[in-house]
Structure 1
Amino acid sequence: MAGTLFDKVYGCLIGGAIGDAMGAPAEDWHYTDIRPTFGQIRTFLPQPARSRDGAPGQITDDTSLRHYMCLAIIRKGGRITPDDYARVWLSDLNPLRLFFTERIVVEKLKLGMNPWETGRGQPLADAAIMAVAPVGIINAGNPSQAFQDAFNLSSIHQDGVERDAAATTAAGFAAAFEPDATVSSVLDAMVDCSSFDTRRLVTIGRDLAAETGDVDRFTEQFYLRYLDRSFPRPPAWVWDKDRTVSPTSREVLPIVAGLFQLCGGQPEACISAGASFGRDADTIATVLGGLSGALFGASSIPADWIEQSEAANLDFFREVSPDEDSNFRSTAAAMVGALKAERDAVARRVAWLDALVADV
C-alpha cells in the first residue's frame, strides 16, 4: 500500500500519536454529546484533562507506553521479552504519564516482581492493546510471531482477554506491513491469530460494520448492543449503565475492527471516526491511527496533522531522550534499524539451519 518501509513505520507511529491526541478531548464522552459539540472530530482540540497544559495535539498514556516499548526494541536491536520491556519501565518511564492501572504495575516492578507476572490481578483495562504496535513493526510480515511476542509482553500489563486482545492486534499490525496488505488481509490475520474471545470480538465488529454500512449507524448500534460495563467504579461515584465508560479491549477491539473496515483503512477517515466515537476515544483512535498508518504510510496522513503532532510533543521526547532531534520521525528510523538487525539475526539462523540439516 505505502511506498517504503520507513513510510509505513513512520505512519504507524505518527498515526497512533495523532489518533491519541485527537481522541483524548472526547474520551469518556457519549457520541450523542460529541456530535452537537464537535461534529466529526477532524482537528486537534484542547484537552485539559489529559495533557500537561491543555494544549492541542499532546499525547496521553497511549503513545507514552508505545514509545517506551519502542525504546526497549531499539536498545535490544530486535524482538524483546518482558524483562527487556521492564528495564525501560524502571529506567525511563514517567509514572505521571500513566493511568492508575499502570502506576500499579510500576510499583510492582519496583518491588522486584517478575515482569512476566505483574499483570496478574490487574483490573481489566486496555493498556496492553494501546502499547502493542511496535511488536507488529519488529515482526513485520509475521503475524503469528507478533501474536506470540505480544502475548508475552502484555503479561507486564494485564491478564485474560486484555492480553489476548493485545496479541491479536499485534498480529494485525504485523500483517499491515506485508507488501500486498489490504484491510481484509489485516482483519483476517487478526481472526487467524486470536483466542476464542478475541476472534469473537473482531467478528462482532466486522459483522456490525457489514450490517450497518455506515460509521454513524455503526456507532449508534454499537452503543445500543455491545457496550462493556465491566470496569470498576469507586463506591462513592455515580454509575450509569449507558454513560459510565469501561476502558477495556472488549469494547476497543470490535470498534477498531468495525471502523477500520468501514473506513477502508484510510488514515484520515479512521482517525476521525475513532476520535468521534467517544467512550475510550483516545485508545480507539490511536489503534486505528496506527493500523491505518502502517497500511497506507505517513504519506497518506494529512501533512498538517503530522507537523502539529511533532511540534506539540517535543517536551515528551526531551524527557526520554538527550538527543534534541528526537521525535516520532527519528524513532521510526531507529525502529527500521532494529528491524534490519532482526532481519540479520534471522538470516544467521537460517544459515545455521541450512548447515545443520545439510546432511540429513
Structure 2
Amino acid sequence: MAESRQGNEPSEPLLLDKYRGCLMGVLLGDCIGGLFDFQWRIDSLPPRRVEQIEDSIWSHLKNYVQPSLQYTDDTSMSLSLAESLLKNCGLDPKDLARTFVDRYLHEVNKQLCYAQVPYDVFDVWEEMHFEGDIFAPARRRFGGVGSTGNGGAMRAAPVALFCGGDPDALVQIAKTNTQLTHAHAEGYNGAILQAYAVSLALHNNAPLDVELFLNQLLEFNRRLEDGLLEKPFTKRFEIVRQLLREDNVEATEVVRQLGHSVLAVDAMPMALFCALRSLKPIASVNREHEIERSIIYAISMGGDTDTIASMTGAITGALFGMKQIPSSWITMCEASEKLLAVAEKLFLHASAKIASSCGSD
C-alpha cells in the first residue's frame, strides 16, 4: 500500500515544523474547543457564534496569568499513545492500556471530561491487572458490537507522526490501538482515516490540491470498506466533496449532512471538511492563517467541539506547521512545551536520526 504524495517531500526542517504544528493543532483545537463542547445543537446555533468564539479567545489572551486553557481527554490520550509508541518503538497494547490508566488517575482534574467508553474499559483493565485478553472489555461494549465513537480518531495524529509515511504500519497501529477502546469497524476505520489524512497533509506542501487529496483518501478508504455492506465513510467523503464546491454553505446545512456528534463517522468527515474548507477564506471567520481559521470554523459547527476542532487542527497543523500559529495561542494552553517536545521525539524516530530515539526521556 503505497503512500501518494503531491509534489516534493518537505525538507527536514520544514517536516519538523509540520510535526510540531500537528501536535500543536491537536492541543489548540482541544483547549479552545473545550470551552464550547456540546453547547450548541443543530437547531440552536447562535447567530453570532463566530464572534462568541473570538470574544472567548480574546478574554483568555487578555486576562491569563498562567496557561488558562486546559486540555481534555483528546490531548491526554494522544500524549499517552505517543509516549507508549516511543517507549516501545512500536505498539505494545498492554503498555498502552497501563499508560492510558496511569495518566487518567494522575490527571484528577480531567477525569470528568473523559467519555464513558474508555472510563468503563479502564475499570475492567484494572480488575484484570492488565493481564489476559486486553481487548476483550472493548469488544463486550454495546452488546458485543463495540463502540462506534470517535475516541480512536481523536488520538490518531501521533500514529501518523510515528509511522513517517508508512501506510501499512499506520493502518496496523491505528486499528489495533483503537480496538483497545473502540472495537466496532466504524470506530477503528475512523481512526485509520484520520491518521491517513494527517499523514497526507504532513508529507505534502501547501498549496494543497484538494481534489487530489480527497481522491487519495477515498481510494484508501475503499480498501478499508471493501466487503462491507454499508460504506459510511465513502458516503460522507462524497458529501464533503459536494459541500466544498459550495462557496457559502451555512453551518446548519453542513451539520445536517455530516453531523457533529461523538460518532467517528460524524467527527472524522466533519474535521476533514473544516480543514479543507479553511484552505480558502471564509466570510464569517476573519483570520488570515488557515490553522486559526480551521479551528474557529470547526468550533462554529457546534457539537463535540473539542474533539472535532482538535482533529481539524491536527490536519491543518500538519500541512502548514508551527509558523502559522500565533505565540499567544500557544502560551494560553497548558502543556504546549510538552507537546512540542513529544513532536520532536516522534520526528527523530520517524526520520531515524538517532538510534536511541525510542525510550528516551
User: One fold, TM greater than 0.5?
Assistant: yes
The within-5 A match list for 1:94-113 is 94=105, 96=111, 98-112=114-128
Which of residues 9, 12, 16 is equivalent to 2:19?
9
> Following the alignment from structure 2 to structure 1, what is the Cα–Cα distance between the partners of residues 261 and 177?
23
Matched-pair identity in %: 21
TM-score, structure 1 length as denominator?
Answer: 0.75
Letter in 2 for 1:60: T
The within-5 A match list for 1:1-360 is 4-28=14-38, 29-30=40-41, 32-36=44-48, 39=51, 41-42=53-54, 45=57, 56-76=68-88, 78-94=89-105, 96=111, 98-112=114-128, 114-120=133-139, 121=141, 122-160=146-184, 161-180=186-205, 182=208, 184=210, 185-194=212-221, 195=225, 196-210=231-245, 212-214=246-248, 217-227=249-259, 246-264=261-279, 266-309=290-333, 312-313=334-335, 327-341=338-352
- Please state how far the C-alpha of 1:159 moved relative to its aligned partner: 2.1
1:292 to 1:152, Cα distance in 2 relative to 1, 3 A: same
1:224 to 1:99, Cα distance in 2 relative to 1, 3 A: closer
Contact kept, 8 Å, 1:144 with 1:193, in 2: the verdict is no
Letter in 2 for 1:150: A
- Please state how far the C-alpha of 1:335 moved relative to its aligned partner: 1.8
Per-residue CA deviations over 1:78-98 (Å, capped at 9, x if unaligned) read 332433422312444337252
1:218 to 1:135, Cα distance in 2 relative to 1, 3 A: farther
- Please state how far the C-alpha of 1:44 moved relative to its aligned partner: 5.2
Letter in 1 for 2:75: T
1:344 to 1:165, Cα distance in 2 relative to 1, 3 A: same
- Please state how far the C-alpha of 1:131 moved relative to its aligned partner: 0.8
Contact kept, 8 Å, 2:84 with 2:92, in 1: the verdict is no
Per-residue CA deviations over 1:297-353 (Å, capped at 9, x if unaligned) read 0111122111222xx347xxxxxxxxxxx62221212222332449979xxxxxxxx
Contact kept, 8 Å, 1:108 with 1:118, in 2: the verdict is yes
> Following the alignment from structure 2 to structure 1, what is the Cα–Cα distance between the partners of residues 21 and 95?
25
Letter in 2 for 1:19: G
SS at match of 1:254: helix
Q: Which moved more, 1:169-178 or 1:197-206?
A: 197-206
1:34 to 1:56, Cα distance in 2 relative to 1, 3 A: farther
- Please state how far the C-alpha of 1:30 moved relative to its aligned partner: 2.8
TM-score, structure 2 length as denominator?
Answer: 0.75
Letter in 2 for 1:16: V
Contact kept, 8 Å, 2:41 with 2:302, in 1: the verdict is yes
- Please state how far the C-alpha of 1:157 moved relative to its aligned partner: 1.6
Which residue pairs with 1:351 in the alignment? none
> Following the alignment from structure 1 to structure 2, what is the Cα–Cα distance between the partners of residues 191 and 279?
25
> Following the alignment from structure 1 to structure 2, what is the Cα–Cα distance between the partners of residues 188 and 153?
26
> Following the alignment from structure 2 to structure 1, what is the Cα–Cα distance between the partners of residues 69 and 166?
32
> Following the alignment from structure 1 to structure 2, what is the Cα–Cα distance between the partners of residues 25 and 92?
22
Query: Which residues of structure 1 form unaligned runs of 5+?
Result: 48-54, 228-244, 315-325, 346-360
- Please state how far the C-alpha of 1:259 moved relative to its aligned partner: 1.6
> Following the alignment from structure 1 to structure 2, what is the Cα–Cα distance between the partners of residues 111 and 340?
39
- Please state how far the C-alpha of 1:144 moved relative to its aligned partner: 4.3
> Following the alignment from structure 1 to structure 2, what is the Cα–Cα distance between the partners of residues 13 and 299?
13
> Following the alignment from structure 2 to structure 1, what is the Cα–Cα distance between the partners of residues 236 and 265?
7
Letter in 1 for 2:14: T
Superposed CA RMSD in Å reads 2.9
- Please state how far the C-alpha of 1:101 moved relative to its aligned partner: 1.5
Letter in 1 for 2:53: I
Contact kept, 8 Å, 1:30 with 1:279, in 2: the verdict is yes
Q: Which moved more, 1:130-139 or 1:93-102?
A: 93-102
Contact kept, 8 Å, 1:271 with 1:286, in 2: the verdict is yes
> Following the alignment from structure 2 to structure 1, what is the Cα–Cα distance between the partners of residues 234 and 49?
35
Aligned positions, number: 304
Which residue pairs with 1:232 in the alignment? none
> Following the alignment from structure 1 to structure 2, what is the Cα–Cα distance between the partners of residues 73 and 276?
33
